Chains A and B, each alone.
Chain A
């Protein structure tokens, strides 16, 4: 029961987008962690491996191309990074899909507000990539 709110389905749809993104990224990250240990059984016991894994200069995938190439070869770390990217994309997907939801509702005010937010968000990505 809402006082003056949106119909139920708006909240349900936004809620499902968030849940979907979370479930998907959790599964991918967990598989990546499992795969890392399967490929490197020594990680369960070795003391030295951790320092290599958490060294700032260590080579781990941090470009989209590196992630996709790595995931094809089923490398654990690349799979984890893919899951992390899905997690990062979830709030952005939430904003983008909200525009569609408000449009279907013919809620012009909130369609505009959400479009402004998405444009600002994309602008910050562009500026971030440039800077």
Chain B
């Protein structure tokens, strides 16, 4: 066990896998010579050479298609999106090729590839570069979607994603790249579809993924001072979703608040609400509430940007509502 940054953990996962399996290649903008736009692939060109670490032109649709084709003929490509905002350009290859090829070829062509890079909002990157698009990918049958929140989860999930025979959309977080945590050495695999309970509690279930896990944990710490024990669950993979862990928690706490950075309409939380109400209806003591990003393009102005995303206070307010509590000190 060593202390690594989230960025180093991803790097370690890719290197370990590439050492283990020579069919694994990394391609994307600036992944080689520049060491990665966010330095996730630092040192990899040096270690694995230009045949396995490929700098591509600024052509997301093109190099994603290259990845799909490579996967169809036996390689296991990792395609890096500089950010997931640019994956919008590659959607045809992701949705229509990667996700469907195995199905449409009658099982002849599995597409074992990972499409990875940072998603979500960062700081003052404005509407086009600051958005959480995971719900789009979750909507597509044939794709798996992983979103780690900690360095250890980043390593364990990326290694598993690389080994998976399906296309995995692996969404990291720019804001989390520098965070540190204990990361198990060597063979550390986290199955896709297994949630992690980041904090145990009995009064309310907070469900959050990626950096919203830390907003939820912050809220849970605040609630603890008021005697409320919140359970914080990080699904870690949004598809497949570990419904069992979520349902078990809600059966215990009888109430849930979902925290997500993305837009509310048809968001990830909407899917989770559907799962919970159908699986745990008789255990719900309050409507499930969601704390989401605002239903607007992300504002550039700092003050407005701050208002556009979930924060500790909004989570606590939602918890108070599902607990039928008067907020402390308020009317």
- Report whether chain A binds chain B: no
Q: Which A residues are within 8 Å of any B CB, using their own CB?
A: none
State the B residues within 8 Å of A (CB).
none
